[in-house]
Structure 1
């Protein structure tokens, strides 16, 4: 029988994941407020508002539940609704079922880390961010870990990909990050986000061990200045303005993906160079291939 995967918050990453799971033989249900975007994808649409108790009660049983909701706005109320209250409601729903999912995957973020001095961080590092976003995400993770259901949280670093080209546009405007002090940045291509989630589900299907927490970032944590300088060279742009980020907002850490790589996952875009080359080429930013 086909395995059923329910993707809650089936947006950009969810649709890429859904296509991969369909190719692997899964039945895929995509839940989102507006399901028009799912037409023709092969993903079964499910209109859903997580604040609707009746809709929650009607969620289908599934072998895997992937929670990829995103906040409507960058404020604490929106983050709490998406990453804490929404997840807790889903957990309560499935905890009450006779048939539990084999695993619930929760998409979290490396914003849970508060390190600012270029420290290397992994799954065992303190995650004590002072901002509301990191705190709320940690609350969601904690709810998952305390649940009797089997779950895994995946902390993605800065996601980029088609349509996520803010950094490219900043470089095209002649802007660049300061060279000193170095502000380390960590990134992961959208397709690798989907690939990591599909990989963890495949491990479960193969009966292989899966941890409760993974840090998912590519293999090149580098100073943001170096990333933008490389982009400027590809785009043939001469930077003219240094971006001055407020020190209180500065985040600088180096994400270590060893635990994920040890599961056998091979990054499609091991660094920003391969990934942004694809985004710049497909987005029409380059006249010639990198």
Structure 2
């Protein structure tokens, strides 16, 4: 299988490593020199191109599948629209118009499109209620992917963690605000995409990618502290946190948004996790912290 990963960053690099190790031909696409070097260091071929530039994308060879995993880099909603909507539309138009277009498109989205559900469970059938301009842009891009002439799959990632993104200090030092964490290790984020492509599953569908155990932030912080041999960190309620001055609107919305994400569909599709819960996923980080 030939795969192009557009926006080959944190998840894309791992996806490329996994696909290459299994004998697939991979092209990673990044717009910066540093990004291109990271792809080459990961052991597969690179193409320097911006996803919003059709001429640049024309340099990507024909492939059987494209994975759109580009990021707006945490910038504002206008930047998100430029990447997620305009970039996705440009990529679809460029690849679909070829003599030999790809058969599959995978678009990586976020569980943020669900909005707030008061701690209740959500799955693929739950109506989306994005509460920020950025998550509304993500939801718009999902519809573009599902309506694409290249048959699309939308994968909604929960909060990603893993190498370089464990952020132990945030939970060990506190204060920790109440609410739920829905998490997914980077290796499984890549693994889900690889699995759906290799097994040719979920065409035209949405798949929620999250591990087996949503966990309360307080419970997670206490577990992490115990594993690291530290006292439990200070806690704060949502009310206490929301009463703090100078709280940004994005931070406020994150605090107010609560849900538990179900991976039942992913289980029915047969995917097996490398890190089924945070306990397995944080083992490496805890060992490294303790050794210091």
Structure 2 unaligned regions, length at least 5:
243-251
Give the corresponding residue for 2:173.
173
Tell me the equivalent position of 1:286.
290
- Whether 1:258 and 2:264 are equivalent positions in the alignment is yes
Per-residue displacement from partner, 1:243-262 (whole Å, max 9, x unpaired)?
55436442210101111111
The answer to whether structure 1 residue 269 and structure 2 residue 265 are counterparts is: no
Q: For the residues of structure 2 that align with 1:237 and 1:251, how far apart are their CA atoms?
A: 29
Q: How far 1:176 sits from its partner (Å)? A: 2.3
Match of 2:218 in 1: 225
Query: Who is 2:131 aligned against?
Result: 130
| 1:239 Cα deviation after fit | 3.9
Give the total of aligned pairs.
276
Q: Do 2:172 and 2:233's aligned partners in 1 also have CA atoms closer than 8 Å?
A: no
User: What residue in structure 2 maps to residue 15 of structure 1?
Assistant: 13
- Say which is worse superposed, 244-253 or 272-281, in terms of deviation: 244-253
Match for 2:193 among 174, 178, 197? 197
Contact 2:54-2:94 at 8 Å conserved across structures: no
In the other structure, the counterpart of 2:24 is 26
The 5 A counterparts of 1:95-114 are 95-114=96-115
TM-score (norm 1): 0.89
CA contact (8 A) 2:17 2:42 kept: yes
What displacement does 1:95 show? 2.2
Q: Which residue, 223, 231, 244 being the options, matches 1:238?
A: 231
- Once the two structures are TM-superposed, the CA of residue 61 in structure 1 deviates from its matched residue by 1.3
Question: 1: distance between equivalents of 2:152 and 2:185?
Answer: 23
Q: Which has the higher helix share?
A: 2
Moved more, 259-268 or 232-241: 232-241
Instruction: Flag the 1:248–1:71 CA change in 2: closer, same or farther, 3 A.
Output: closer
* Cα RMSD after superposing both structures: 1.8
CA contact (8 A) 1:157 1:186 kept: yes
- 1-side partners of 2:42 and 2:16: how far apart? 8
Shift, 1:20, TM fit: 1.0
SS at match of 1:153: strand
Kept in 2, the 8 Å contact 1:174–1:237? The answer is no
Give the superposition deviation at 1:116: 3.5
Alpha-carbon separation, structure 2, partners of 1:248 and 1:103: 34
Relative to the length of structure 2, the TM-score reads: 0.89
Are residues 151 and 252 of structure 1, via their aligned partners in 2, closer, same or farther at CA, if it must alter by over 3 Å? same
SS at match of 1:7: strand
Secondary structure of 1:135's counterpart equals helix
Distance of aligned partners of 1:38 and 1:56 in 2 relative to their CA distance in 1, 3 Å threshold: closer
Partner of 1:212: 205
